[in-house]
Amino acid sequence: MTTSAPTPASTRTVALPGGLSVTVQEFGENTGGTGVLVLHGGAGPRTVAGLSGALSEHVYVVTPTHPGFDGTPRPDRFDTVADLAVAYLDLLDTLGLKDVMVIGNSVGGWIAAEMALRDNHGRIGALTLMNAVGIHAHMVENRVVDPRTMAPADISQLSFTKAEFRPDFASFTDAQRAAAGANQKTLAVYGGEHFTYDPKLRARLHRVTVPVLVIWGEEDGIAPLKYGRGYADSFPNAHFAPIPDAAHFPQIEALGATLGAIGEFVSTVVKPDAGA
C-alpha cells in the first residue's frame, strides 16, 4: 500500500442515538459506501492521525475521539468498553457505512473486537488489531503490563523501541500534563476493575466471523508478542503480522510496514478479487 500526501482532516461532532455525541475526525469524503474506522488507544487520537491520513489516500476514514478524551464530554452512564463498542456501531449506522474495516490500537483494538461481537447490522467487513489489549493471558509472563503503577517515562520506554518517538515529558506544559492525566483517568473508567482486559472476552471471540488481521510490534514491552499471537489464535479467521523494530505503536514507529501489512491483508484476504 503506497501513500502520497495525507488528506487534511475535518473535525465535527456527530449526534448518536440515546443522546450521545461523539467528536470525529474525517479524512477524505464519505460517499455513503465503504470506509475505515480507526480507534485510538489510551494515548489519544493523535497516535493514529498519521495512519488515518495515509489510509485516506485509498478510502474514507473516520477517527472518533473516545468520549472523555482530549477534553470531550463523557456522560456518567457511559463507562465501559462495551458502551464504546455500541456507540461506534451506531456511528457506522449514522454515517451509512458498510463493509467497514475497523482498525484499533491498544484499547482501540479491544473496542474493535467488542464491536464485531455486537454487529447485528452487518456493518463490519474486517478487523485490524494493532497491539491490542482486551483478553486475559493464560500465562503470567504473557500478560499485559498494568501501567497504573508506573511513571510516564517508564511506560514510554516500554511503548517505543526507538528513542526518537518517545514523548519528552520534561518539556510538557502544565496544560499538557493535565490533559494527559485526564485521558488516563478516562481510560481507567472504561477499563474497569481489570483495566486491560475482560476475563470473558477471549472465550467469545470464536463468534467473530469476519477476517481479522492482528498486527504486532515485536518489541512491545506493554503487551508482549506471545500475547499478540494468543489474541490471533482466539479468532477463527485471523492472520498474524509481526512488525520488527516497533513496540506498542507500530503505526507510529513503522508506518510503512504497518500499511504494507494492511494492504496485503486487503488484497489477499478481504478483497482478493478486487484487482482481477
Where do the structural domains in the chain lie, given as residue ranges? 9-270
Question: What string of H, E and C letters represents the secondary structure of 3-20?
Answer: CCCCCCEEEEEEECHHHC
| pLDDT value of residue 248 | 98
How far is 248 from 221, CA to CA, in rounded Å?
Answer: 7
User: Structure pTM?
Assistant: 0.95
| pLDDT value of residue 1 | 55
Tell me the per-residue pLDDT of 72-91, one tens digit each, with 9 for 90 and over: 999 999 999 999 999 999 99
Which one-letter amino acid corresponds to residue 216?
A: W
51 neighbors 260 (Cβ within 8 angstroms): no
136 neighbors 202 (Cβ within 8 angstroms): yes
Which positions ≥6 away from 201 have C-beta within 8 Å? 110, 113, 114, 134, 135, 136
For the chain, give the mean pLDDT: 94
**CA-based nearest residue to 39, from 158, 145, 129, 135:** 129
Helix or strand or coil: residue 167?
Answer: coil
CA geometry: angle 173, 176, 177, nearest 5 deg: 90
Tell me the per-residue pLDDT of 4-35, one tens digit each, with 9 for 90 and over: 445 578 999 999 998 999 999 999 999 878 99
Architecture of the domain made up of 9-270: 3-Layer(aba) Sandwich (3.40)
Which one-letter amino acid corresponds to residue 102?
A: V
User: Per-residue DSSP letters for 105-161?
Assistant: ETHHHHHHHHHHHH-TT--EEEEEEES--BSPPSSGGGSPP-GGGS-HHHHHHHH-S
